[in-house]
């Protein structure tokens, strides 16, 4: 058994036991991508409410990571709080303009991407798959910057861009979940 796969390592590993939550987030993102691709001409209200629901669920998952992982508690709580607030505002004020939604998504994407990149770098020697964290962070950061730089895309284009983001992010999350689960199983032997 390799030294980085010992049971002590897995117990101390950031987000150990979190493969189920990571897989759930990935499934939510892929479901959102499927709906966004299937119904690209959806109304602004449906788009806002769907995005708000995803952000709210993502925020709740980040709070659960923050509760179980004291080393990254502050960052996860801040990310979770931003996602929950953005999701709640999106659902509550579903008649807000498209530009405001795009700006909120951009700010959330930049913060989430920076946090994921920071975690990938900070825990690179302890993560089973640091490149997945890094790539997920780059995807979030890239789409966040795109939404901030180009705040007025059309509804159909916004649905497509959100679908691409959800597809990429969900795929990376599911891949990460499978790698986390495999590492925990190897360490348990």
- Quick one: pLDDT at residue 110? 92
- Quick one: pLDDT at residue 41? 63
Regions of the chain short of the pLDDT cut 70: 1-17, 41-45, 94-98, 127-128, 152-155
- pLDDT tens digit string along 15-60? 556 788 888 888 988 988 888 888 776 655 677 777 788 888 888 8
- Quick one: pLDDT at residue 188? 72
Q: Return the closest-CA partner of residue 118 out of 63, 74, 81, 87.
A: 74
CA 9 to each of CA 2, 4, 13, 73, 184: distance values in angstroms, whole numbers, following the listed order: 11, 6, 6, 19, 10
Q: Is the pTM of this model over 0.85?
A: no
Q: How far is 126 from 9, CA to CA, in rounded Å? A: 8
- Quick one: pLDDT at residue 42? 62
Read off the tokens for 187: 């360490």
Residues 6+ apart with CB under 8 A from 173: 22, 23, 25, 26, 29, 136
């Amino acid at each position: 058994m390799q030294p980085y796969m010992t049971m002590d390592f897995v117990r101390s590993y950031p987000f150990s036991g979190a493969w189920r939550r990571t897989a759930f987030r990935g499934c939510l993102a892929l479901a959102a991508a499927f709906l966004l691709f299937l119904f690209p001409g959806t109304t602004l209200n449906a788009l806002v409410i769907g995005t708000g629901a995803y952000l709210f669920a993502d925020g709740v998952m980040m709070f659960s990571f923050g509760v179980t992982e004291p080393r990254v508690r502050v960052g996860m709580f801040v990310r979770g709080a931003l996602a929950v607030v953005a999701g709640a505002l999106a659902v509550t004020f579903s008649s807000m303009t498209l530009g405001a939604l795009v700006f909120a998504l951009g700010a959330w994407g930049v913060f989430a991407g920076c946090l994921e990149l920071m975690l990938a770098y900070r825990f690179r020697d302890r993560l089973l798959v640091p490149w997945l964290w890094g790539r997920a962070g780059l995807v979030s950061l890239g789409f966040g910057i795109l939404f901030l730089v180009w705040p007025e895309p059309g509804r159909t284009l916004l649905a497509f861009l959100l679908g691409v983001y959800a597809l990429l992010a969900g795929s990376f999350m599911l891949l990460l979940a499978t790698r986390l689960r495999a590492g925990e199983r190897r360490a348990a032997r």
